[in-house]
Amino acid sequence: MGKSKAAICDLSKAVELRQDFTSARLQRGHLLLKQGKFDEAEDDFKNVLKSNPSNNEEKEAQTQLTKSDELQHLHSQALSAYQQEDYEAAISLLDEILAVCVWDAELRELRAECYIKEGEPSKAISDLKAAAKLKNDNTEAFYKISRIYYQLGDHELSLSEVRECLKLDQDHKQCFSLYKQVKKLNKQIESAEEFIREGRYQDAINKYESVMKTEPDVPVYATRAKERICHCLSKNQQAAEAIKVCTEVLQLESTNVNALKDRAEAYLLEDLYEEAIKDYETAQASSENDQQIREGLERAQKMLKQSQKRDYYKILGVK
């Protein structure tokens, strides 16, 4: 059932009741090795070898003892690589160890640190979540997960994880400080999105400007805020401003589909049909099945075609 701690407790009681119970010692040694408790595992394997075991038990105990020695050597190499900031080598070594020591929370946390240094946050999150389950009251793991989600711009998941940390320790200073920051930011973003749904675009713009002031140090929030401000300006028919803000977003994320769509709409308001078509086509390359893009492109092409015809009413100055 994967309940290794409970199993070890029962096996320990079995060994206490019967000192020569070699199969119980052997099984406990296996579980201790999976937890990365090398010294304790080795004690069990050595005791099995001293207790007149069967041939199979002797062979298995010797094999596991050799494996434990190898893993300890790899562990030393992994720590050395980490200290020397050779994170790629450390990850490779830790992969090998964790293939056996699957229930070692500390090794998973160490590999998570390496993943963070190597710029692989999703892999770090995976290891930290496992570590949070393996070690009771692991507030540090929840705090780190929350920080990573926050840095990635996922404020909702960040808030969820930091709450888990505070459930374990409501006085945790780092978690409480992060909680206040994420909660404030989350509330501002939710309010802004509510304003957009209600068509209150200027109120939404003001709220997203507050978001950028609340979190000036994590670039993803400023980019997302500008993306939504661009949308509001476009919907509010403030074409020139919308084009300016959308362009700022696209300088950072050249294939941002939302910014491309909103700038295209702003271009149409300014009768810049060719520019609008170009934006729609760029957006379509990244999101082929988006019906809104397809309809926008067709509309822009139609408007360009109409603009190229002579408007004799306009020439003659009559309605």
Any idea where the domains of the chain sit in the sequence?
Answer: 218-319
Architecture, CATH, for domain 218-319: Alpha Horseshoe (1.25)
In contact, 268 and 299? CB cutoff 8 Å:
yes
- For the chain, 319 residues long, give each residue's pLDDT as a single digit of tens: 778 888 989 999 998 898 888 899 999 999 999 999 999 999 999 988 888 778 888 899 999 999 999 999 999 999 999 999 999 999 999 999 999 999 999 999 999 999 999 999 999 999 999 999 988 899 999 999 999 999 999 999 999 999 999 999 999 999 999 999 999 999 999 999 999 999 999 999 999 999 999 999 999 999 999 999 999 999 999 999 999 999 999 999 999 999 999 999 999 999 999 999 999 999 999 888 889 999 999 999 999 998 888 778 878 989 8
Q: What is the reported pLDDT for 54?
A: 84
| pTM of the predicted structure, to 2 decimals | 0.84
Question: Residue ranges of the alpha helices (H) in the chain?
Answer: 4-17, 22-34, 38-50, 55-83, 87-98, 105-117, 121-134, 139-152, 155-168, 173-197, 201-214, 219-235, 239-252, 257-269, 273-286, 291-307, 312-316
Go through the chain and tell me how many residues it has.
Answer: 319
Distance CA 140, CA 95 (A): 22
pLDDT score recorded for residue 50: 87
Which pLDDT belongs to residue 37? 93
Report the C-alpha gap between 25 and 151 in whole angstroms: 46
Please give the structure tokens belonging to residue 137: 């009251």
